[in-house]
Amino acid sequence: MERGLYIAASGMLAEMTRQDQIANDLSNTSTPGYKADRSTQRSFGDMLLENTQTGQQVGSLGLGVATDRVVTDLAPAAIRTTDEPLDLAIQGDGYFAVQTNQGLRYTRNGQFTASPQGTLTTGLGQPVLGQNGQPVRINADGTVTANSVGVFNVPNARKQGDNLFTGAAAGRGTGTVQTGALEASGADPAKSMVEMIASFRAFESGQKVIQTIDETLQKAANNVGTLQ
């Protein structure tokens, strides 16, 4: 089988993965505390070509590409004031801790709400924890004391979904809690759109390569019987 087909197809598959990541970033451009992803690609490796008679090296031939890894940009984003008493933002490094059905998780999304029991929860009803590991109580006037909300240092935090991260907390984070504010999304819509267009063009290039090779093979198959 023509090796060029595999090389072009591998590039298209890598771009499909990249497009999924960019689309996810675009859909979360207004999600508080969201962290954008960046995908990198790597070569499968090169095959060294040489003259079969003399052994002289001709050059190398690439064998295609694949998605190497997806890296999350954990840098803090800008903070905007909302004046909502249960909106919280972390100024600096650190994460809020929430208790989920799957265990302890962390987030930078401080768009919280009140439970019927008077505790602070996420929009999905997950309790927000203080530094002591206990649910944060809401004051009688409907506000939250900033010092009662835990800020945890989570090295090597990994995305899990629903704007939550997994990881092992290593003490208190250096950031401070700001009430009546939210951290903006880390996704840049303009940059993501440019990356999406570039990815689509790379994908289309792979399609054209496959189409050209297919037409060439078809002509070769049709004409081979006419050779004398």
Q: Is the dihedral of CA 7, 8, 9, 11 positive or negative?
A: positive
d(CA 92, CA 111): 17
Domain spans of the chain, in order of start = 3-74+187-222, 79-183
Q: Are 135 and 127 in contact (CB under 8 A)?
A: yes
Q: How confident is the model at residue 156 (pLDDT cuts 50, 70, 90)?
A: confident
Q: Report the mean per-residue pLDDT for the chain.
A: 87
Q: How confident is the model at residue 213 (pLDDT cuts 50, 70, 90)?
A: confident
- pLDDT at residue 133, as a whole number: 93
Q: How confident is the model at residue 44 (pLDDT cuts 50, 70, 90)?
A: low
- Tell me the longest C-alpha to C-alpha distance in the chain: 96
**pLDDT of 169-191, one tens digit each?**
999 999 999 999 999 999 999 99
**pLDDT of 87-105, one tens digit each?**
999 999 999 999 999 999 9
Q: Averaged over 191-208, what is the pLDDT? A: 91
- Please tell me the total number of residues recorded for the chain in this structure: 228
